[in-house]
């Protein structure tokens, strides 16, 4: 089967199998396929992380379900192929939420392997920081029970390990108790990037969730103008009386589906400029304490099924980096360069990260992260992004492997200084190099 | 691996002494390529090209011996390449001969020598090579065809027919490769100033090897199946295709 990531770039062909349980995974890994094996979740990594050209890919989504819910301790044991969408539909009515990225269409295994973050990183940490234990079938086909206390090296190498330490089959995760499925949110508009970052610095800590959207096509004095969305879970008394009878209802539907065939080039600087303008205008200058659905607050893109197809067959890349606090200048420069280049980026996302966790390849570190989508095809794009890599490196930052599809391999060690430490543990878990992916080949991981 | 923007890491140039091949390899090295294998008849003659790639920053440059006319050796050649260099992301088929039209028109052996190098030899190496790439599950094959293959011209139809055969073979192969992770890109340059055309009068829209290289790199980034160099040739040729033969014969092209 031809597989690509969410960006639709660099497709490659692999044999795909759907293991139903741990025994199937063990058997597949023990076959030691000639070009290796790697797990795949819902393919939401943007680049080539869940591809293995010419080899075997284990689609984990048939391993699905909640195996145990401990209501007292707010903890669930779930099969690794379960999507966060399922988990939220099943668990929100029971009063539990979880660390979530910008889409519900990711699996628990993918969330751990990329050590994903959400709008609440500064308060709750990453997804991996909320995992209490996991089951891993390592590169020799041996099942292991990993916890941060008993097997810290293996546990943290697997968290953020991009599937290269083994196949995760099950995880025990901490849940976030909630009274409702609504968010009590504040929205503000910022006139430029300085203003936006100042507002985030000043009051992010008062909110559990915080994220800003930047219009990278705005130029001149409005360069980096943005909208800041922050909030926390609403309590029952925050709801309108009519809603209080059923406070945790959660049944989101996509409102529209993108057409399957769409030419490349329609996402261009003119259409994007118009969209960004509209988005900016539609937001209130300031609005405090409005109630929004969890789905609308966290996953607005899930309202359009297959929106990635709007970029056409050539696809798009997402560029996401983080630079430490104190390197605000690098964020400014990046936004200025993107704005000058006129790279047609729909709303870039800006966020402040909290502390890092012990995982050597985990992306988040204290600082500013910026993420933006850019269509592929403009011949100046490789240089623009290579230049941003240099900027990020100079500032002591890194790019996010779950989003990457093009970084130069020679930059990896500088971006992830603990790479060799990770490699040593990976080598213990996969001494024969059975776990392989296109990302690993491209970056020499 | 090939990256999202068309950047590749390992490149094999068949016809490693070709001006167009070397200019393209240099562009790919400027971008991301770290390993380049130059394969051709005369390894000594490729040494200088290899040095220029090293100076451009390639980490590994190898010279391998390959003769398009020695069909019996092609299978083993392909196996050796993969054994020694690992995954190959991009193969550039750049070998070819122009030949002497005036001689070839009357001398069957001379005509067949052109066709054997440009068409038969290419088919012979492309088949095992593409099979290897299919097994690898990814990769790109870039083939230097020519506008001369688009419509036969009085002045070079032996060469033109060899390119027409190659071009048709590669179009069909490109379709066969859909869904395999392997891509075929056909490049149709017009007149390019190179060793091949030294001493000839340049045709209209004549261009340089560097321009061909740029067009190839852009075509890779955009996922093109056919690239014309210069791009304007596409329009010109679609017009010329319909010019009546009595007129076409007399055109100075
Ligand atoms: C619209 C959108 C918004 C996003 N927002 C965010 C965000 O806010 N924050 C964020 O951090 N990320 C975000 N992402 C990225 C996404 O969360 C990650 O790429 C995530 O890993 C995708 O999970 P998946 O199940 O689709 O995994 P895949 O994309 O299929 O795989 C990703 C990686 O996980 C590995 N993997 C998958 N399953 C397993 C398993 N069972 N065992 C071992 N390894 C496994 C794969 O080998 C691969 O390396 C977003 C993506 C999209 C499309
Ligand atoms: N230049 C143009 O105007 C033009 C236009 C359209 C298309 N093209 C095509 O582009 C390609 C490259 O051309 P170029 O301009 O770069 O010409 P070039 O510099 O003359 O290169 C051609 C190369 O092919 C090699 N070659 C010839 N016969 C071979 C064989 N049997 N086995 C292995 N290698 C062989 C030659 O090597 P030796 O030194 O061993 O002979 C030479 O290195 C050719 O396919 C050509 O037809 C060129």
Q: Look up the ipTM and state it.
A: 0.92
Residues with CB under 6 A from ligand 2: B 15, 17-21, 40-42, 45, 66-69, 94-97, 117, 121, 144, 146, 189, 191-192, 194-197
CATH for A182-409 is: 3.30.70.2520
- Collapsed DSSP state (helix, strand, coil) of residue A423: helix
Q: Is residue B4 part of a domain?
A: no
Give the whole-number percent of chain A exceeding pLDDT 90. 81
If DSSP codes are grouped into helix, strand and coil, which group holds residue A360?
coil
B85 labelled catalytic: no
Asked whether the predicted pLDDT for residue A339 surpasses 90, the reply is: no
Residue A312: φ, ψ to 5°: 80, 180
The kind and range of the H/E element at A227 are: strand A226-233
Please compute the mean of the pLDDT values over residues A176-188 and round it to a whole number: 96
Instruction: Note whether B137 contacts A377, CB cutoff 8 Å.
Output: no
The C-alpha of B59 sits at a distance from chain A's nearest C-alpha, in angstroms, of: 12
Residue contact A48–B221, C-beta within 8 A: no
Residue B253 is assigned to a structural domain of this protein? no
pLDDT at A271 (0 to 100):
82
Q: Pick the catalytic residue from B66, B77, B119, B159.
A: B159
Full-model pTM:
0.95
Contact B51, B62 (CB under 8 A): no
As a three-state string, the secondary structure of A4-47 is CCCCCCCCEECEEECCCCHHHHHHHHHCCCCCCEEEECCCCCCC
pLDDT, one tens digit per residue, over B93-148 is 999 999 999 999 999 999 999 999 999 999 999 999 999 999 999 999 999 999 99
Looking at every residue in chain B, the average pLDDT score rounds to 95
Q: What residue owns the CA closest to ligand 2's atom 46?
A: B96
Give the ligand 2 atom nearest the CA of B191: 3
Ligand 1 pocket mutation, candidates A49, A52, A106, criterion most atoms within 8 A of CB: A106
The pairing of beta strand A56-59 with beta strand B90-93: unpaired
pLDDT digits (tens, 9 = 90+) for A104-141: 999 999 999 999 999 999 999 999 999 999 999 999 99
Do the Cβ atoms of A81 and A163 come closer than 8 Å?
no
Residue A257, pLDDT > 70, answer yes
Total number of domains in chain B? 1
CATH number at residue B207: 3.40.50.720
Q: pLDDT tens for residues A295-332?
A: 999 998 888 888 888 888 889 999 999 999 999 999 99
Distance B95 CA to ligand 2 centre (A): 4
Domain containing B53 equals 10-248
CA count, 13 A, side-chain hemisphere, B38: 30
CB contact under 8 A, A313 and B138: no
């Amino acid at each position: 089967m031809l597989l690509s990531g969410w960006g639709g770039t660099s497709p490659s062909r692999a044999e795909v199998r759907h293991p139903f349980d741990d025994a199937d995974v063990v058997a597949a890994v023990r076959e030691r396929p000639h070009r290796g094996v790697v797990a795949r979740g819902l393919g939401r990594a943007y680049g080539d992380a869940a591809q293995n050209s010419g080899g075997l890919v284990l689609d984990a989504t048939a391993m699905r379900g909640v195996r145990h819910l401990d209501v007292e301790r707010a903890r669930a044991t779930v099969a690794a192929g379960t999507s966060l969408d399922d988990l939220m539909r099943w668990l929100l009515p029971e009063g539990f939420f979880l660390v979530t990225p910008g889409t519900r269409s990711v699996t628990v295994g993918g969330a751990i392997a990329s050590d994903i973050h959400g709008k609440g990183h500064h308060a709750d940490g990453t997804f991996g920081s909320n995992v209490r234990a996991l089951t891993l079938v390592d590169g020799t086909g041996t099942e292991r029970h990993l916890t941060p206390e008993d097997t810290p090296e293996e546990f943290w190498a697997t968290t953020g390990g991009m599937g290269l330490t083994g196949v995760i089959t099950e995880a025990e995760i901490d849940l976030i108790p909630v009274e409702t499925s609504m968010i009590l949110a504040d929205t503000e508009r910022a006139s430029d990037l300085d203003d936006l970052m100042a507002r985030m610095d000043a009051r992010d800590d008062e909110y559990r969730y915080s994220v800003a959207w930047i219009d990278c096509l705005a130029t001149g004095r409005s360069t980096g103008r943005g909208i800041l969305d922050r909030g926390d879970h609403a309590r029952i008394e925050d709801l309108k009386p009519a809603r209080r009878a059923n406070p945790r209802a959660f049944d989101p539907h996509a409102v529209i589906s993108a057409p399957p065939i769409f030419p490349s080039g329609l996402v261009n600087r003119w259409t994007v400029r118009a969209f960004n303008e509209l988005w900016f205008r539609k937001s209130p200058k300031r609005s405090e304490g409005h109630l929004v659905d969890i789905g609308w607050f966290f996953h607005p893109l899930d309202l359009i099924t297959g929106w990635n197809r709007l970029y056409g067959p050539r696809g798009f890349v997402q560029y996401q980096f983080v630079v430490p606090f104190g390197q605000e200048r690098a964020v400014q420069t990046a936004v200025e360069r993107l704005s000058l280049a006129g790279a047609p980026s729909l709303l870039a996302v800006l966020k402040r990260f909290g502390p890092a966790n012990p995982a050597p390849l985990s992306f988040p570190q204290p600082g500013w992260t910026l993420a933006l989508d850019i269509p592929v095809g403009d011949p100046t794009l490789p240089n623009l992004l290579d230049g941003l890599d240099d900027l990020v490196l100079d500032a002591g930052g890194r790019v996010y492997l779950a989003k990457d599809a093009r970084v130069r391999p020679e930059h990896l060690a500088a971006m992830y200084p603990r790479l060799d430490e990770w490699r040593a543990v990976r080598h213990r878990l996969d001494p024969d190099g059975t776990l392989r992916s296109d990302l690993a080949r491209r970056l020499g991981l | 691996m090939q990256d999202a923007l068309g950047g590749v890491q390992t490149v094999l140039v068949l016809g490693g002494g070709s001006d167009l091949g070397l200019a393209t390899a240099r562009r790919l090295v400027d971008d991301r390529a770290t390993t380049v294998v130059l394969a051709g008849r005369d390894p000594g003659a490729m040494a200088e090209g290899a040095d220029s790639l090293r100076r451009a920053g390639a980490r590994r440059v190898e010279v391998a011996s390959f003769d398009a006319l020695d069909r019996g050796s092609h299978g083993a050649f392909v196996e050796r390449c993969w054994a020694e260099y690992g995954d190959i992301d991009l193969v550039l088929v750049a070998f070819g001969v122009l030949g002497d039209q005036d001689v070839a028109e009357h001398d069957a052996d001379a005509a067949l020598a052109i066709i054997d190098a440009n068409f038969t030899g290419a088919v012979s190496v492309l088949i095992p090579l593409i099979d290897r790439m299919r097994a690898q599950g990814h990769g790109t094959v870039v083939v230097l065809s020519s506008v001369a293959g688009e419509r036969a011209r009085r002045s070079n139809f032996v060469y033109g027919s060899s390119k027409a055969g190659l071009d048709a073979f590669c179009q069909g192969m490109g379709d066969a490769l859909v869904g395999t992770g392997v891509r075929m890109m056909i490049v149709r340059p017009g007149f390019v100033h190179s060793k091949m055309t030294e001493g000839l009068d340049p045709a209209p829209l004549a261009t340089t090897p560097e321009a061909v290289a740029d067009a190839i790199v852009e075509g890779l980034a955009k996922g093109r199946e056919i690239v014309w160099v210069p791009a304007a040739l596409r329009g010109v040729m679609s017009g010329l295709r319909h010019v009546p033969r009595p007129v076409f014969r007399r055109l100075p092209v």
